Structure 1
Amino acid sequence: MRKKIALLLASLTLTMTFAGCGKKEEAAQGVTETSIKVGNSIATSGAFAPVGVPFKAGIEAYFKMVNEGGGVKGRKIEYVHQDDEFNPEKGKAILDKLVNDEKVFAIVGHFGTPVVGATLDDLKEIGIPSVYFATGTGILYNENATKGEGDNIFPVQPVYPMEGRIMAAWAKGEFKADKIGVIYTNDDAGKDLVKGVETEAKNMGGVEVISEQVAPGAEDVSAAVTKIKNSDVDAIIIAGIQGTFPQIAKELAKQGNTKPAITTYVNGDKTMVEAIKSDVADKFEIYSNCWVDVTTPAMAEFQKWVKQASTEDFSANAYAMTGWIAADFFVKGLEKVDGEITWENYIKAMEKEPIKNPFGGNIDFADGKRLGTQEMSLVKMDIKSAIGWSPYIGFKSINDILGK
């Protein structure tokens, strides 16, 4: 990474040109009188192409809508993409090229845990605005980002530490739990989730957390389930994603659990319900976080434009919707910029006031908060529903959940 060059480019955004007694900030790289160039790398080939291709289409669809509507501040959005194949070394090299050769103004839709992990420090050091990360990795979670230490990083998708905090709030606020049992996978996702649960339990005060770990993908989780069940908890959080969630849910049913269980949004799909419904049925209730509401008015607009942006039909594709969200957050920040479009002014604009997700919930980046999604809804497993889940509670922040 040619960091010295990148840092020089960043410093240019802050330079001042003098005309008479006045002074004017220069626009940042990638910004002309007629266009604003942004870019990203996404895996559009290989094993992750089924995720990357629709994600890219959602971004393209949103920018197409914006450009055909006249652009932003009189400028059209120019979008540059390269395929990193989900390879962190390629992703790192592409970031170098995007910043130093393509000279993009911002990174929009940084994709995948391995690539984000390999490049996050570079993004922070360069200072380039980076909006939306297609991963829930906990390294994005920052309660007090400052200049040079991540204030240019804007996670939108749920990040696991914050989601863990929200699940703990549901357990206390909705299910009156004073003792929360957590079964978590001993991987980054599980450890980030349980860390969030413990953080919020401490914030709430008077809430005890009993946690047991299992190996990711473990077939036998009986020992962990037994320990949690014997601890007489009031609610259970299943802090493990698709590969382990079914085994935990089935074992809870097998051992006669009757306490409500809450899990991450990652498990809130029909596939997971199909995997467990014959074992769990009505033995106990399972709830899942949710951060995308497809019943909002934005859905019709998304479907209209994504059909125009791609030859494939992504009108019901969740990954395409998240690409749309990524582009939406970037543009909303751009619309709020005061004065010249510089990196510093853009960061200030993103922090001005909460930004609404077109598919539900608000995110507040003020005061260095880089927490990802801060408002989520709750859905309940429903084997009679066509999608396996039914709405239970609408979007709420932690304070709303706890009645503060």
Structure 2
Amino acid sequence: MKRITIAVLLIAAVAFALPAAGTRQTVAAQGVTADSVLVGNSAATSGALAAVGVPFNRGIEAYFKMVNDAGGVAGRTIRWVHYDDEFDGAQGLTYAQRLVEDDKIFAFVGHFGTPTVALTQEYLNSVGIPRVYYATGLRSLFNLNATGGARASFPVQPIYDAEGEVMVARAVSDFGARRIGVIYPNADDGAGLLAGIQLRSGLLNVPIVTAQVAPDATDMSSAAQTIIAANVDVILVAANQVPAEVAIKALAAAGNTKPVITSYVNAAPVFVQGVREALGVFDVYANAWLQVVDDDGNPTPALNVYVEAVSKIDPALAGNPFAQAGWIAASAFVQGLERVGTNPLTWDSFIAAMEREPIEIPLGGTVDFANGRRVGTQAMSLLKAVYDDGPGWIVDRPLEAIEDILR
């Protein structure tokens, strides 16, 4: 209750200083001058999550430097201010207020971390300030028809609900599934993935069988046996990291032979190491939303551009996925600026520009914000877990939008 009260007070405090969400602006918005535009974020750049937050922000910095070195956008350079919220939602809310009311930024770029995003969402929707890219798959961001201040929200990386839809599309189109099993934890990731799975399986008329587990469960044998007994064609492990690993091991121990698809969050070599024994019994797949090599295994042109630019900031970041995510966040924002061009830069003109046509994701596919659609990208490839000389993933299906997967 205390946090809700704080949020309400903050909303009231800015009611007279900022345009109400949905109010049309005809003059340049805050943070915009004739020769610059100011944006910002808060992120965990110290503490346990610094290994994520620091490279993420450096990726944003690298992209803005590249743009500014080339003259900026429509005569404006991009200025960027950021704070360290230590992955703490209360601090994130304080810094969000400071960025909006004191620094008077035009937009958030790279709104970082589940705690901060969750606690600031109501406040920022009420303000109506643009937010481009969230470093979280928090399911409350999923919105098929955003209105009011929520239209200023632009999630780029996959949201759990949206990825759940892609999982079903892959199971049906690539594996011919006519009955799908789902193991999911009682947590935000499991609930979001399950919601997307239920939505898309309903649209496709494909029955699903579900088994819920506790997110901290160390024994998921009962759930595995339930799914196997249902004689499904494909199993979706709708969980991240440790719960997903426990579920796959339980399936192997219970004698499963059906293919398993899990979240893009698990598409790392360390995850393959954890489920290595299962790979000799059934195939394990994971979604992926970035594609940094071509079909021949060579770096894509987009990756080469990224590596050249980020190496000017820190060569060690060339292969860092968190820096790549920051780079993508900055790129999505700049595409909106470029579409506005020399027209008045307001929150409304920026939102309209972002919705006009799909945003290109460097190192990935596209994300479509048309008609209030706020679900993140649903263009994903499918990776297959392998263990040859060591743990890894190979591309099994190329990067495709969900419409193309189902075609």
User: Taking structure 2 as the reference length, what is the TM-score of the superposition?
Assistant: 0.93
Q: Does 1:382 align with 2:380?
A: no
User: Residues 96, 134 of structure 1: CA spacing in aligned structure 2 closer, same or farther, 3 A cutoff?
Assistant: same
For 2:278, which of 268, 277, 280 is the aligned residue?
Answer: 280
Deviation per residue, 1:346-400 (Å, 9 max, x gap): 0000000011110111111000000011211111111127661100111122221
Which residue is equivalent to 2:267?
Answer: 268
Deviation at 1:10, TM superposition (A): 3.9
Q: Deviations over 1:124-178 (max 9, x none)?
A: 1000000000001100000000123x10000011110000011011111111111
Aligned pair count reads 391
Q: Is the 8 A contact 1:15 1:26 kept in 2?
A: no
Q: Distance in 1 between matches of 2:93 and 2:311?
A: 32
Q: Distance in 2 between matches of 1:259 and 1:15?
A: 53
Structure 2 partner of 1:313: 316
CA 1:193–1:15 in structure 2 vs 1: closer, same or farther (change >3 Å)? closer
User: Which SS does the other structure have where 2:95 is aligned?
Assistant: helix
In 1, are the aligned partners of 2:87 and 2:115 still within 8 Å (CA)?
yes
* Alpha-carbon contact 1:14-1:342 (below 8 Å) kept: no
Partner of 1:373: 377
TM-score by length of 1: 0.94
Q: Is the 8 A contact 2:291 2:399 kept in 1?
A: no
Structure 1 pair 71–385 and aligned structure 2 pair: CA distance change class (3 A): farther
Maintained 8 Å contact 2:93/2:116: yes
1:44 is aligned to: 45
Task: Decide whether the 8 Å contact of 2:10 with 2:123 is kept in 1.
Answer: no
Partner of 1:348: 352
CA distance in 2, matches of 1:386, 1:4: 56
Structure 1 distance, partners of 2:161, 2:309, is: 33
Assess, with a 3 A threshold, how the Cα gap between structure 1 residues 65 and 265 changes in structure 2: closer, same or farther: same
CA distance, structure 1, for counterparts of residue 403 and residue 380 of structure 2: 12
| CA–CA separation in structure 2 for the residues paired with 1:14 and 1:219 | 51
Q: Which residue of 2 aligns with 1:3?
A: 11
The yes-or-no answer on 1:358 pairing with 2:362 is yes
Q: Which of 301, 304, 309 is the matching residue for 2:305? A: 301
Identify the structure with the greater helix proportion: 2
Q: CA deviation at 1:9?
A: 4.6
1:100 aligns to 2:101 (yes or no): yes
Equivalent-residue separation in structure 1 for 2:292 and 2:15 (angstroms): 41
- Partner residue, 1:324: 327
Paired position in structure 1 for 2:55: 54
Deviations 1:22-48 (A, max 9, x none): xxx311110111110000000100111
Partner residue of 1:86? 87
Task: Please name the residue that 1:154 is paired with.
Answer: 154
- Secondary structure class of the residue paired with 1:336: helix
The AA in structure 2 aligned to 1:44 is T
Q: 2: distance between equivalents of 1:269 and 1:345?
A: 39
CA offset at residue 2 of structure 1?
Answer: 3.9
CA shift for structure 1 position 217: 2.9
Q: Secondary structure at the match of 1:323?
A: helix
Distance 1:397 1:293 in 2: 13
Whole-Å Cα distance in 2 between the matches of residues 70 and 83 of structure 1?
29
Kindly state the Cα deviation for residue 98 of structure 1 after the two structures are TM-superposed: 0.4
Name the structure 2 match of 1:129. Answer: 130
Unaligned ranges ≥5, structure 2: 1-8, 294-299
